[in-house]
A = this chain, B = another copy of it.
Amino acid sequence: MTTTPRHRPVVPAPVDVPSGRSVHTETPAPGDPRLARLSLNQATVKRWSLTQAVDGCLRAGLPAIGLWREHVQETGLERSARLVRDAGLRVSSYCRGGFLSDPSRTDALEDNRRAIDEAAELGAPVLVMVAGGLPEGDRDLAGARERVAEGIHALAPYAAERGVRLGLEPLHPLFCADRAVLSTLGQALDLAEQFSPEVVGVVVDTYHVWWDPAVFDQIARAGAAGRITSFQVCDWITPLPVDSLLGRGMVGDGHIDARALHRAVLAAGYEGDVEWEVFNEDVWSADGDEVIATMARRHAECVL
């Protein structure tokens, strides 16, 4: 631990969290080039305030953070922007806008415009867009998808004016009914291609796309057009937990070959941050610094 700077508390970490697996790799210390593109998505340390998350990034030497609206609202927009800026952290993404499929949600466009404004103020290059699922009692999937496309058309000029890209995130088909009718990277690209790449791109999240037989072709297609706005990683673990929203694991604990997908986005020209976004009750219950230390080790071991 000779490279650990004085301001970092030395926490004994013989095991990874939450798996309890023995540590295979020494934790990369601040300044280690393997951390140069590692970003902490706030959802991974959900119970931390923004201040705590920023401090956690600084202690671990992470250069970037992915922000969530809930946390930013809690802290206040202006204060959040200042906190992150003063810490010298990059904002890798702002989560999230979207939910454009339900015609009864009449404030959806207005709410998305506010999210775009917030992203601009925070210096976030991209607002991550989750499409939204089928409205209650509705089985018209094609109709829901059309409404999502109409919503993106309505929002794109506003986003372009403010220099914020919309990152369309296909979600695993597991979520098609209740969260996102955009289910594949190819489908997200079909929509994104109706706009300039500077305005609308796609989010590649290992959890959502790993199963797709076309994923490597679609990553190449997205990259060739400069449309990969974000690359997020976590693992698919089995058995799925009771709440299927929380079935994401630390990379290395599940079934996804994250390294192959990371290489594919790099080969496709992606130069942005690699955001760790892990929705998992056991991760949330663990100590935040240990979560980040595990992330840093697993990033070196299983992603790079």
Pick the contact of A174: B173, B212, B213, B254 (CB < 8 A): B173
Q: Interface residue tally of chain A, by bracket? A: 20 to 34
Pick the contact of A173: B134, B145, B211, B256 (CB < 8 A): B211
**What is the total number of copies of this protein in its complex?**
2
Give the distance in Å from the alpha carbon of A102 to the alpha carbon of B95 in the complex: 39
Cβ-defined contact, A212 with B139, below 8 A: no
- Chain A residues with a Cβ under 8 A of chain B: 134, 139-141, 145, 172-174, 176-178, 183-184, 186-187, 210-213, 236, 238-240, 242, 244, 254-257
Cβ-defined contact, B187 with A213, below 8 A: yes
Give the distance in Å from the alpha carbon of A257 to the alpha carbon of B213 in the complex: 25
15 additional contacts (CB under 8 A) given A141-B257, A177-B254, A177-B255: A139-B255, A140-B257, A141-B210, A141-B211, A172-B173, A172-B174, A173-B173, A173-B211, A174-B240, A177-B211, A177-B236, A178-B238, A186-B213, A187-B213, A240-B240
Q: Which residues of B contact A176 (CB under 8 A)?
A: 210-211, 236, 255
Q: Which residues of B contact A173 (CB under 8 A)?
A: 172-174, 211-212
